[in-house]
Structure 1
């Protein structure tokens, strides 16, 4: 596969919603789906991808990690990354090995309290950021791309509104697992994205109304529903 330098304005033309790792991921996925990269074929090296997309090594590594977690590629240490033979099996590998259940348990333990505290402490500016993050979720749903990234930003905006940096640190520590599980949740059923939008709207409304009990319950229900959707997807793929 020949890698040409990619126009850095590409992701801006697509909208700022799409993160740099997502740009790299989409390009590689298109190469695979278009048979420019075939099963067992080695994909470009980290250095080649860094040069092609003019991004940092961390961006490339995050993109490759997500592709590996989804089962699109596999990595041989010291050799490189290759297109997987059977990419459907990778979903089960990702669900089983990246700790999505552990991450969801952590989130269910702390994020309901985040929502409750945010309803009590959020400044007008922080409420505006939460609303902006929700609108980003709406845009992503309509564009049918970037929903996982938008979802994560929504939850982080709520964590910031607590005024407790440790909540933000917890989410950032499980950032990849949170985003990868959201990707599979939202791809598991046609109405999943819309249902999650409704759930997030309920969380936002409770926070705006300063209803701490309702905010806590809405966040708990949202995370529980997300967990159940993930379990259904995993069960359907076995």
Structure 2
């Protein structure tokens, strides 16, 4: 038997709109209904509608014209195509846990004195009591991107930047952080950031890997503990869930 995978809601919405386009209910070249109208007609959130529209544009059913809005494409794809999958919340947290420690290990031998000073400034900046949560998060993002840049591999930089962009799609992530003030966030992660810096100062790739793994697990696990099956992501693939449950054993 294969694991049962829940279809993300945005894909169901994309399928519904695709069917309407192919049935002629939305003619080629016609302006797409406003997001608000689709929210009311389909009974989903605005976030889900926007994600569905992105999928439809990538599939070739919808085009966006600057200043005018979204329109049904003049020429439709020859055959229905599958909406491109977007990462679920569990997938995002697990991917970061698996990938960022390896990026830290790759960076460790190449973190020079100037890089280390810059990273320490970012950690110190996060502890500034006058900063708001958004500013602390920006410094946190810069910390992780700077580590990726130290590897000299632009793909690693793109991956870390993509993690930060993707996780902002999930309202639960924002809600969870908004329940904490900036000082709490900075204090919660300061020791973990400093452990990563200690590994870099020693040019110890294995220690950097371990420290980043602890940090990614500790920053992701509280969100997963609060997560419920929401329309932004739904239940994870059973294989992903099994691996995340193994975190407690150090896997």
State the TM-score bracket (shorter-chain normalisation): 0.5 to 0.7
Q: 2:96 touches 2:163 (CA, 8 Å); kept in 1?
A: no
Alignment gaps of 5+ in structure 1 = 1-76, 85-89
Q: Is 1:232 the equivalent of 2:225?
A: yes
SS in structure 2 of the partner of residue 163 of structure 1: coil
Q: What is the aligned partner in structure 2 of residue 143 from structure 1?
A: 131
Q: What is the aligned partner in structure 2 of residue 68 from structure 1?
A: none
The 3 A distance-change label for structure 1 pair 213 and 172 is same
Q: 2:193 touches 2:215 (CA, 8 Å); kept in 1?
A: yes
TM-score by length of 2: 0.50
Report the Cα offset of residue 158 of structure 1: 0.7
Q: Is 1:153 the equivalent of 2:142?
A: yes
Cα shift readout 1:81-113 (whole Å, capped 9, x = no counterpart): 79x9xxxxx8x98xxx86332222221222101
Cα shift readout 1:165-218 (whole Å, capped 9, x = no counterpart): 211011223331245666445345564542122212221222122222211111
Q: Provide the aligned length of Structure 1 versus Structure 2.
A: 153
Bigger CA radius of gyration:
2
Equivalents in 2 of 1:232, 1:211: separation in Å? 32
Q: What is the aligned partner in structure 1 of residue 204 from structure 2?
A: 211
Equivalents in 2 of 1:126, 1:133: separation in Å? 11
RMSD over aligned CA atoms reads 3.5
Q: Is 1:119 the equivalent of 2:108?
A: yes
TM-score by length of 1: 0.52
The 3 A distance-change label for structure 1 pair 149 and 180 is farther
Q: 1:120 touches 1:210 (CA, 8 Å); kept in 2?
A: yes
The 3 A distance-change label for structure 1 pair 186 and 208 is farther
SS in structure 2 of the partner of residue 195 of structure 1: helix
Q: What is the aligned partner in structure 2 of residue 132 from structure 1?
A: 121
Alignment gaps of 5+ in structure 2 = 1-31, 40-44, 49-85, 231-251
Q: Which structure is higher in RCO with an 8 Å CA cutoff and minimum separation 6?
A: 2
SS in structure 2 of the partner of residue 174 of structure 1: helix
SS in structure 2 of the partner of residue 143 of structure 1: coil
Q: What is the aligned partner in structure 2 of residue 164 from structure 1?
A: 153
